[in-house]
Structure 1
């Protein structure tokens, strides 16, 4: 099994334990100047995102059409391939990381490690959150930043006002930089709200969003998995996000106490 290149879980964690660090050094100033000059359109974001996700799909183990992970994901999201004006496509990366991400082109990638610990309603909430990042154009900001890092690392066209054509090496750097990026707390909060509204509008159990965050909070605790605490430090506190979901559900009369939330002893996808 290949190791995932770099990981980002927008709903909870910042970097994988295996994350590849990109050191900009003096190029940081060039990135800043180039970003100001760059005219970056939605079309650019979609094109570059597709290039990035195509690269990642080729360099990571993707579950096949008959794989239990793919079957489960399709069962949950087949009717959400066209969601809120977005054209979405879903795949599973068969890696142990507990993670998921979405790109501006509508690509949503879910990691098998996440599916192993999340119930169907929890997965709906997590991926609803990722769809929210696409709808709110947070992913456009992330891919623009990643593009600037990729071209600056090669000192190529960094001050250009238009998006340059990238070679394969630059696409790889852009993919890594995109997945290392983290959204702002405001963007995360807005995506949480989108996820809750997505669940509510489709008559899913909104408590799934609460229990998903509770599980992520458990993972961030020292003994649950070494290294996860560091991963969660740069994102909003999962326990606080769970409580925010609970308040929304109580206000809407949709709250049902799930009892004590624990991490499953066995994989939920077999």
Structure 2
């Protein structure tokens, strides 16, 4: 099974369609080279694009007339230029539940996430991912992944030039990104960005509350959600994040009690 790179992720590392490549001792090498290497935002964007292109070629992408693409276009077309970022977006038709955004402005939404999230909930999740990119949370993560894939030591990593990677190295860099996590502070800042994004655009901010409640339900599930449970050990508690959204919405006079939040029994994208 191939694993997918999550440049900025809210849900966790998920399996896809091919074999993960072993990183070997490059992990230690990358740790030494990380601080030494000059690494720009342009470098991060370039490597992110290479990774996303690799993913697009190794996963089923919804076509332009697919209901998932039609729905995402309806929701997000007007946000292609968002807060100084030039965004492009696609839907991966996979069973895993996730979404991510990368330094090059690529946004990828998984069809199974769209199946369980309402429009406002989806916008809140996407806003969170964009927040990670805007806050440059992904820069060090992809830098570390690049160093592992290129197997650079501290001396060679001090170069100002990012070396070209082979296709297998790009796949290896994608795998390395699976191990990247954001700090609780970074997650909180992305949550704030999402809330502000929703509020500024006149969307229902309670959608962010509902989205986190649904993620909490997924993390509490049985063996089918074991990946969620593992991931949530290193992420802020979704119920607490939902409550933080509620408090802010109440303060802003935007809170409307949604009642009990539950996972839908039928797909919301048809």
Common topology (TM > 0.5)? yes
1:16 equivalent in structure 2: 14
* Contact kept in structure 2, 1:104 and 1:140, CA below 8 Å: yes
- Distance change (3 Å), C-alpha of 1:218 and 1:10: farther
Q: Which residue of 1 aligns with 2:180?
A: 181
Q: CA deviation at 1:21?
A: 6.2
Is contact 2:20–2:172 with CA below 8 Å preserved after alignment? Answer: no
Q: Is residue 5 of structure 1 aligned with residue 34 of structure 2?
A: no
Give the structure 2 partner of residue 117 of structure 1.
Answer: 116
User: Is the contact between residue 127 and residue 197 of structure 2 (CA under 8 Å) also seen in structure 1?
Assistant: yes
Gapped runs of 5+ residues in structure 2?
Answer: none
Alignment of 1:138-153 (within 5 A): 138-152=137-151
**Residues 160-199 of structure 1 deviation map (CA, whole Å, 9 limit, x = unaligned):** 4231111111111112222432211111110000000000
Report the CA distance shift for 1:184/1:254 in structure 2 as closer, same or farther (over 3 A).
same
**How has the CA–CA distance of structure 1 residues 237 and 112 changed in structure 2, closer, same or farther, with 3 Å as cutoff?**
same
1:198 alignment partner in structure 2:
197
- Whether the 8 Å CA contact 2:36–2:154 is kept in 1: the answer is no
Number of equivalenced pairs: 267
Aligned to 1:251: 251
TM-score, normalised with respect to structure 2: 0.92
Q: Can you give the 5+ residue segments of structure 1 that lack an aligned partner in the other structure?
A: none
Q: Aligned to 2:157, what secondary structure does the other structure show?
A: coil
Q: Hey, what does 1:223 align to over in structure 2? A: 222
Aligned equivalents of 2:150, 2:2: Cα separation in 1: 23
Deviation at 1:149, TM superposition (A): 1.5
Cα RMSD, aligned residues only:
2.2
Q: Distance in 2 between matches of 1:9 and 1:111?
A: 14
